[in-house]
Amino acid sequence: MTQIAFIGGGNMATSIIGGLIQQGDTSANMIHVSDPNADQVAKLADDFGIQPHTDNAQAVANADVVIMAVKPQVMKDVLAPMRATLAARQPMLISIAAGISLQSLSQWSGCQAIVRCMPNTPSLVGLGATGLYATESVSLDQRNIADSLLRAVGVSVWVQSEAEIDAVTALSGSGPAYYFLLMEAMVQAGVKLGLSEETATQLTLQTALGAGQMAANSDVGPAELRRRVTSPGGTTERAIQTFEAAHLRDIVEAAMQAASDRAAELSQQLAD
């Protein structure tokens, strides 16, 4: 039985806990959550039957896995009082905070087996996408545990280097906002074409949902799906030609490069 401690009881921790309980593979009494907000941990205890704490050291005292679900800016200060306990016990430490390097996490926590991961906001509705990278000290069993924890809220993918986490941040971490921007633009364009905002919004959201589901369930890639719905000389082809003439691919590439560069900058700033 694996004892799991969440440090931070916010939205992402709540989503993972809910996913674990729903899966049925993890007993609620094996999950400990610590948060300075006593009302929040009390609610988690009421909702899921987990073990609530307001003392981080108490929460991790017997933990095999510690999930750091706190904001990057406070990670160092939160880990400092627990360092002696963590260094002595050596649990697997999982960080879901953006921008904190493995080197910083190891230095601040005293842990050797560390997994750095980047979930995205659709994890809150069980449709997340998470990239993970682990230190060499993480065993195969521990990797499987980390994988199962993040699969409780969506899909998880291991990357081959820590640097790739910045690419994950640029793609799936920030990616939902790209789709929200496109949805926003489509609604606005629909209104200009004469639709009511309510109608344009409903059609946009359902189209996004349907396209995503089709792509997820298809045996071919997005490029082939696009080709199949783009009839020669038709309306879709005219729209795609307009996107291409505006260099949409170049815009997406530049935007994701900017996001990746910023992720690397933030990692350096937080380490300093």
* Plot region of 98 (φ>0 → left; ψ -120 to 50 → alpha; else → beta): beta
- Are 120 and 247 members of one domain? no
In angstroms, rounded to a whole number, what is the distance separating the alpha carbons of residues 195 and 187?
Answer: 9
Tens digit of pLDDT for each residue in 17-29?
999 998 887 899 9
The tally of domains found in the chain comes to 2
pLDDT at res. 164 = 95
pLDDT at res. 199 = 98
Which CATH number does the domain housing residue 222 bear?
Answer: 1.10.3730.10
- Are 115 and 58 members of one domain? yes
Q: b/e per residue, 35-65, with b = 16+ CB within 10 A?
A: beeeebbeebbeebebbbbbebeebbeebbb
- Are 142 and 41 members of one domain? yes
Residue 272 lies inside a defined structural domain of this protein: no
pLDDT at res. 272 = 65
Identify the three-state secondary structure at position 175. helix
pLDDT at res. 99 = 87
Domain containing 147 equals 4-168
Identify the domain boundary among 147, 168, 189.
168
pLDDT at res. 267 = 85
Query: How far from 249 is each of 225, 241, 244, 261, CA to CA, in Å?
Result: 17, 12, 7, 18
Q: Which two tokens stand for residue 117?
A: 């991961």
Spans of the chain, pLDDT less than 70:
1, 272
- Are 139 and 222 members of one domain? no
Identify the domain boundary among 168, 183, 199.
168
- Are 161 and 237 members of one domain? no
- Are 191 and 242 members of one domain? yes
pTM, entire model = 0.89
pLDDT at res. 271 = 79
